[in-house]
Amino acid sequence: MNIRKKFGEIVRMYFSKWKNWKSWKVRRTNGDSKCKWSSKTIVFNKDELLKEKDDVDLLFIHEIIHAVIRGGHNQKFLNRLKKAKTTASKLHRSELENLIEKEIDMISKSEKFTNYLKNRIPDIVTIDAPDISWKELVKAITAEHGCKPRDITKHKFARRLFNQAKKLVEIEKKTREKFGLLIPKCEK
Ligand SMILES: [Zn+2]
């Protein structure tokens, strides 16, 4: 497969308003497919390129969206994916449409989980359990949400939020020690 040609085709069909595509490079890789904004390069996993046409088209669409929106799997990403689904429908590509729908479903689920983590981690540490350790926190969330520890620990922001919340708790504690009764402990 000529990936440069394929890239141009997918851009013309699904991202016709994207002007800068010609300044982007496309390469094959043994590693994961990904969009590297710093070098304006999209790399495609060799084995993934050998899959069915619909899978390959979705792969291109997915990586191109990262290039267009310059971001991760956020709401903007989902909106672009929905647009691509509409286009696929107009082009009578029903199998591709199904694949995009599945991708939308998967990403919006993980978006929801990410948002839940962003709210829940600071809450647990600052309100529910200020003395909780990182390990205990992961355990508590897996129990609460029915997910695997890895679902939490794979997100770098999770640990970062935990550390930030811990720092807040520490500052609050020190302030309370310093000023004694002036700041009463907030009861839940
Ligand atoms: Zn992605």
pLDDT attached to residue 144? 92
pLDDT attached to residue 96? 98
For the chain, 188 residues long, give each residue's pLDDT as a single digit of tens: 899 999 999 999 999 999 999 999 999 999 999 999 999 999 999 999 999 999 999 999 999 999 999 999 989 999 999 999 999 999 999 999 999 999 999 999 989 999 999 999 999 999 999 999 999 999 999 999 989 999 999 999 999 999 999 999 999 888 888 887 665 656 55
Contacts of residue 10, Cβ cutoff 8 Å, sequence gap at least 6? 57, 60, 61, 64
Q: Go through the domains of the chain in sequence order and give each one's CATH number.
A: 3-108 (3.30.2010.10), 111-182 (no CATH)
CA 133–ligand 1 middle distance (angstroms)? 31
CA 115–ligand 1 middle distance (angstroms)? 17
- Provide DSSP, 123-157: HIIIII-TT--HHHHHHHHHHHHT--HHHHHT-HH
CA 187–ligand 1 middle distance (angstroms)? 43
Q: What count of other Cβ atoms lies within 10 Å of the Cβ of residue 161?
A: 19
Contacts of residue 168, Cβ cutoff 8 Å, sequence gap at least 6? 125, 126
- Looking from the CA of 117 toward its CB, the CA atoms found within 13 Å total 26
CA 34–ligand 1 middle distance (angstroms)? 7
CA 175–ligand 1 middle distance (angstroms)? 43
pLDDT attached to residue 179? 80
Alpha helix stretches (DSSP H) within 27-147: 53-69, 75-90, 94-123, 134-145
CA 113–ligand 1 middle distance (angstroms)? 16
